[in-house]
Amino acid sequence: MINLEVPKKAGALINQAYQAAAEVFRPISRKYDRAEHTYPTELDMFAALLDGLNSSGEGGAGAAGVRRSGSDKEAKGNRNGANLNVVLGTIEMCWGDVGLLLSMPRQGLGNAAISSVATDEQLERFSGMWAAMAITEPGFGSDSAAVSTTARLDGDHYVLNGEKIFVTSGERADAVVVWATLDKSKGRAAIKSFVVEKGTPGFEVVRTEHKLGIRASDTAVLRFENCRVPKENLLGTPEIDTKKGFAGVMQTFDNTRPLVAAMAIGVARAALDETRSILASAGVTIDYDRPANTQHAAAAEFLRLEADYESAYLLTLESAWMADNRKPNSLQASMAKAKAGRSVVEIALKCVELAGAYSEESLLEKWARDAKILDIFEGTQQIQQLIVARRVLGKTSAELK
């Protein structure tokens, strides 16, 4: 049985994350939205706090992996663990500012990839590293299987060649987890992920992008030209298992998609909270004991948005709970990402409309811009719906495109 109530032991974490969001993120949110590409130095002390939470096993608002291995004793029974804690913390932090959360040192999406698929030795070796994740290329967007960056084994190193775009924290991170193919003729099964540290010869940050939203976070274009990476930096196993196919690297998404859904939920809740306050000051009462169609039109619309928010929230908690309890959650991760991504865009834009908040005097304007990326990265809305359809109908990627 899945219990989607917030566990009491997560109370302290949620309170700490909320305090950080309210006392630090919110006050500097507009500042770094305007000062695009400027690193928010205020985040350094929070990165240290999260390091402490993660090392203590409590989990923070950063990256944690879906690791299903462990002793038989650990695998039995239901438990609320690191993934649920990370989702809950992420919601609170993104209530403050999603761009600032994405700028947190050592909490990158690449860290989630390392946590998900690295060996125990690699986990220890890369501990404390800030890792971005590089998947998308100029030749493809949502089809991750179309990776054309190559990795050729040469002695004790892999030689990487290719270009990656839209890499979150690509300039600031200590390393990048790069998706590359060992053998294009073998299709998806040959795609592996490699940890490439900054300063490695042949690794170049080409430029940083100017963006619609999440401007506090840097988004970079990276190039790899005869970049030699130690073979020990290939995450997981180098074996190409055509039966397992794409499952190895795709396991990363089982973790990162609920995280992005949590980011969307945090932004959506921020917009709803602000709009509720604005409506109240305008004399609009939201009555939860009366049918929506008997209330003020703005109140009825607000109640509809809240219901949309709640469904996305529960789907996201479910996907995290399943990961913590070692249950396959690929379907639920995609459902949560699809629902939350679509909902946050509609909620944020509708809140701008209800509040008349089209200027920079209100953070609603900023949240409406920030929201759209949460429906795009880590797999677009359309890709998530395709994945869900395949899972529900029992179709392969070749059968349902």
Percent of the chain with pLDDT over 70: 89
Rounded (10°) angle between helices 247-281 and 297-324: 150
Q: Which residues contact 77 (CB under 8 A, 6 or more apart)?
A: none
pLDDT tens digits along 339-350: 999 999 999 999
Catalytic residue among 163, 171, 301, 378: 378
Residue 52 pLDDT > 70: no
CA distance linking residue 58 with residue 77, whole number of Å = 19
Name, in order, each residue with C-beta under 8 angstroms of 189's C-beta and a sequence gap of 6 or more. 240, 241, 242, 244, 245, 246
DSSP, collapsed to helix, strand or coil, labels residue 153 as: strand
Q: What is the pLDDT of residue 79?
A: 57
Our CA angle for 325, 93, 341, nearest 5°, is 70
- In degrees rounded to 5, what are phi and psi of residue 176? -130, 135
Q: Could you give the domains of the chain? A: 8-125 (1.10.540), 131-233 (2.40.110.10), 247-393 (1.20.140.10)
**How does pLDDT run across 85-122, given as a tens digit for each residue?**
889 999 999 999 999 999 998 888 888 888 888 899 99
So what's the pLDDT on residue 246?
59
378 is catalytic: yes
Strand partners, 197: 175
User: What does the DSSP assignment read for 94-117?
Assistant: HHH-HHHHTT-TT-SHHHHHHHHH
Q: How far is CA 317 from CA 20, 83, 87, 89, 261, in A?
A: 22, 9, 7, 12, 10
Neighbours of 303 (CB within 10 A): 18
Q: Residue 319, SS3?
A: helix
Q: Which positions ≥6 away from 207 have C-beta within 8 Å?
A: 220, 221
Who's near 400: CB < 8 A, 6+ residues apart? Answer: 386, 389, 390, 393
Q: How would residue 81 be classed by pLDDT, with cut points 50, 70 and 90?
A: confident
d(CA 328, CA 64): 16
Q: At what angle do helices 330-355 and 297-324 cross, to 10 degrees?
A: 160
d(CA 305, CA 57) in angstroms, rounded, equals: 35
Q: What would the two tokens of residue 137 be? A: 């290329």
For range 16-28, the mean pLDDT: 94
Q: Which residues contact 353 (CB under 8 A, 6 or more apart)?
A: none
Residue carrying structure tokens 């991750």: 144
- Report the 3 state secondary structure along 328-344: CCHHHHHHHHHHHHHHH
Q: pLDDT band at residue 70, thresholds of 50, 70 and 90?
A: very low
pLDDT at 68 over 50: no
- Between 37-51, 293-307, 311-325, 363-377, the lowest mean confidence (pLDDT) is in 37-51
- For residue 180, the 8-state DSSP code is E
pLDDT of residue 69: 43
pLDDT at 73: 44
User: pLDDT of 145-202, one tens digit each?
Assistant: 789 999 999 999 999 999 999 999 999 999 999 999 999 998 888 999 999 999 999 9
Question: What mean pLDDT comes out for the span 265-286?
Answer: 98
Instruction: Pull the structure tokens for residue 204.
Output: 């170049």
Three-state secondary-structure class, residue 194: strand
Instruction: Give CA separation, 243 vs 188, 240, 386, 390, in Å.
Output: 11, 9, 22, 18
CB 165 within 8 A of CB 194: no
Check whether 225 has a pLDDT greater than 60.
Answer: yes
